[in-house]
């Protein structure tokens, strides 16, 4: 995903942990395709001491027993695991991981007036929830991030380090990477915000078609069915939006691009060449 972020898939944060760390957590008995999301449910009941290969519907090996490799052995069809081929599938991986949380861990500062209505919240040391924040999790928030006042976090949402989510902002089922800023009066739903993104006041991501069908979006010159009924935007590193920007569902804004005030994003916006690389 070089157009959107400097992260490769293997080091992209899922629930604020790099994908490679999730792979390592499976144990030394298993090896994985570097771009695969592996759900523990698919490995439960499999015996790692014998040759086993977890495959997707296209026959691609996703995980296999370390001692035997990916070529031979029993081939087991994955139910919850998948290969991350497109950027929006990172949302699916994030949803899969956060849905497995079983407890809250509050290490940061929670001011009076914060309401955690349901779900689990993991608030890292150095993160801060200001008055008026309402959370319906599961939500993870990394160190240095300041949330609020008076904002709403819901769904399965990951907020990375040093982010700012401010007044009258709603974040739903999304991923915010390092130093993303959604300062005020905005809605971000089923979306990914890259590093150092700054959304101008009133920026809105639409995420639902009027006919309720799956969203389709352009990928490698083709219109692809994302399999998602709710899909907002993929916004690359260092993007700035002007105030009152409205973004059609399933649109992608490439790294370092920007929008004018009041702009309606109907089509994907390409990345802007990095001056340092030119």
Considering the chain, what is the average pLDDT of its residues? 95
The active-site residue out of 33, 184, 240, 244 is 184
**Which tokens hold the place of 127?**
């993160």
Q: How far apart are CA 180 and CA 188, in angstroms?
A: 12
For residues 208 and 110, membership in a common domain is answered with yes
Q: Is residue 273 a part of any domain in this protein?
A: no
Final residue in a domain of this structure, among 18, 53, 83: 83
For residues 60 and 131, membership in a common domain is answered with no
Q: Is residue 99 a part of any domain in this protein?
A: no
Q: What are phi and psi of 23, to 5 degrees?
A: -60, -45
For residues 249 and 217, membership in a common domain is answered with yes
- The CB density around residue 48, as the number of other CB atoms within 10 Å, is 18
Length of the chain: 278
Radius of gyration of the chain (CA): 19
Chain segment 30-66, per-residue pLDDT in tens? 999 999 999 999 999 899 999 999 999 999 999 999 9
Q: What are phi and psi of 89, to 5 degrees?
A: -75, -15
- Between these two residues, 264 and 73, which has the higher pLDDT value? 264
Kindly report which listed range (9-18, 68-77, 144-153, 244-253) carries the lowest average pLDDT score: 68-77
Q: Is the pLDDT of residue 278 over 50?
A: no
Q: Is the pLDDT of residue 145 over 70?
A: yes
Q: Which residues of 9-36 are buried (b: 16+ CB within 10 A; e: fewer)?
A: bbebbbbbbbbeebbeebeeebbbbebb
For residues 147 and 225, membership in a common domain is answered with yes
Q: Is residue 141 a part of any domain in this protein?
A: yes
Q: Is residue 173 a part of any domain in this protein?
A: yes
State the Cα angle at 188 between 272 and 9, rounded to 5°.
Answer: 55
**Kind of pairing, strands 52-55 and 157-159?**
unpaired
Q: How far apart are CA 258 and CA 245, in angstroms?
A: 10
For residues 129 and 226, membership in a common domain is answered with yes
Q: Is the pLDDT of residue 1 over 60?
A: no
For residues 146 and 258, membership in a common domain is answered with yes
Q: Which long-range contacts (CB under 8 A, 24 or more apart) does 215-221 make?
A: 215/249, 215/250, 216/250, 217/88, 217/250, 217/251, 217/252, 217/268, 218/252, 218/268, 219/86
pLDDT of residue 2: 42
Q: How far is CA 64 from CA 8, 17, 26, in A?
A: 22, 22, 11
For residues 113 and 250, membership in a common domain is answered with yes
Per-residue pLDDT averaged across 149-175, rounded?
98
pLDDT of residue 72: 85
Q: How far apart are CA 28 and CA 49, in angstroms?
A: 11
For residues 178 and 70, membership in a common domain is answered with no
Number of domains in the chain: 2
Chain segment 220-237, per-residue pLDDT in tens? 889 999 999 999 999 999
Per-residue pLDDT averaged across 145-159, rounded?
98
For residues 223 and 111, membership in a common domain is answered with yes
**CA nearest to 137, candidates 163, 109, 172, 169:** 172
pLDDT of residue 276: 60
Among this protein's residues, is 184 annotated catalytic?
yes
Q: Is residue 146 a part of any domain in this protein?
A: yes
Q: Which domain holds residue 179?
A: 105-265
Q: Is the pLDDT of residue 3 over 90?
A: no
Q: Is residue 2 a part of any domain in this protein?
A: no
For residues 44 and 166, membership in a common domain is answered with no
Chain segment 82-91, per-residue pLDDT in tens? 999 999 999 9
Concatenate the DSSP letters of all residues of 65-98 into one string: ETTT-SSSSEEEE-SS-EE--STTHHHHHHHHHH
pLDDT of residue 275: 64
For residues 158 and 24, membership in a common domain is answered with no
- The CB density around residue 126, as the number of other CB atoms within 10 Å, is 15
For residues 109 and 240, membership in a common domain is answered with yes
């Amino acid at each position: 995903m070089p157009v959107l972020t400097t992260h490769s898939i293997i080091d992209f944060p899922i629930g604020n942990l790099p994908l490679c760390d999730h792979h390592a957590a499976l144990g030394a008995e298993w090896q994985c395709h570097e771009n695969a999301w592996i759900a523990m449910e698919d490995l439960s009941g499999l015996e790692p001491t014998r040759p086993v290969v977890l495959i997707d519907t296209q026959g691609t090996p996703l995980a296999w027993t370390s001692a035997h490799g990916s070529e031979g052995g029993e081939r087991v069809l994955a139910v919850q695991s998948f290969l991350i081929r497109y950027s929006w599938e990172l949302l699916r991986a994030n949803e899969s991981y956060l849905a497995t949380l079983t407890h809250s861990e509050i290490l940061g500062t929670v001011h009076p007036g914060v309401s955690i209505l349901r779900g689990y919240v993991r608030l890292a040391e150095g993160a801060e929830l200001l008055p008026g924040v309402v959370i319906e999790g599961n939500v993870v928030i990394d160190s240095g991030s300041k949330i609020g006042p008076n904002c709403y976090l819901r769904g399965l949402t990951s907020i990375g380090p040093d982010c700012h989510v401010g007044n009258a902002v709603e974040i739903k089922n999304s991923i915010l990477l390092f130093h993303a800023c959604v300062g005020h009066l905005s809605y971000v739903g089923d979306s990914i915000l890259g590093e150092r993104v700054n959304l101008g006041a009133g920026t809105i991501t639409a995420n639902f078609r009027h006919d309720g069908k799956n969203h389709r979006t352009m990928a490698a010159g083709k219109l692809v069915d994302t399999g998602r009924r709710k899909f907002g935007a993929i916004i690359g590193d260092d993007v700035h939006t002007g105030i009152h920007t409205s973004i059609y569902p399933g649109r992608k804004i490439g790294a370092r691009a920007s929008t004018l005030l009041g702009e309606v994003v109907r089509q994907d916006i390409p990345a802007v060449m990095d001056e340092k690389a030119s």
